[in-house]
Amino acid sequence: EAGVAQSPRYKIIEKRQSVAFWCNPISGHATLYWYQQILGQGPKLLIQFQNNGVVDDSQLPKDRFSAERLKGVDSTLKIQPAKLEDSAVYLCASSRRTDGYTFGSGTRLTVV
């Protein structure tokens, strides 16, 4: 079974630039999550989708972050404009009750 695919693996941008990350979950997993993991910390949930609807985006900085999951499959997370403190690993995960969580390998963002 293919895992959760994310791209790009690494991204370096200047502050105030825009960036987008892509995630393809495991086939059949209705729930998709984006987590932000800052160095030395545990992952923090940014947004949770159930199919193509948002379940929880309470910790998403909506002034600069946006996410969508069209057709209930792939998802993109965008940051516009980026700040230095956005430097982190952005992890996508998908789940189905019977399977549990699977994380992608993440996108490491550096904002300079």
Partner 1 sequence: RKEVEQDPGPFNVPEGATVAFNCTYSNSASQSFFWYRQDCRKEPKLLMSVYSSGNEDGRFTAQLNRASQYISLLIRDSKLSDSATYLCVVSNYNTDKLIFGTGTRLQVFP
> Would you tell me which residues interact with partner 1 (CB under 8 A)?
31, 33, 40-45, 48, 55-56, 91, 95, 97, 100-101, 103-106, 108
Token pair listed for 22: 């892509």
Minimum distance of partner 1 from residue 81's CB (angstroms): 27
CB of 25 to partner 1, least distance (A): 14
Distances in Å between the Cα of 58 and the Cα atoms of 1, 37, 46, 48, 70 are 32, 16, 7, 9, 20
Written as six digits, the tokens of 86 are: 């956005």
Q: Which is nearer to partner 1, 53 or 100 (CB)?
A: 100
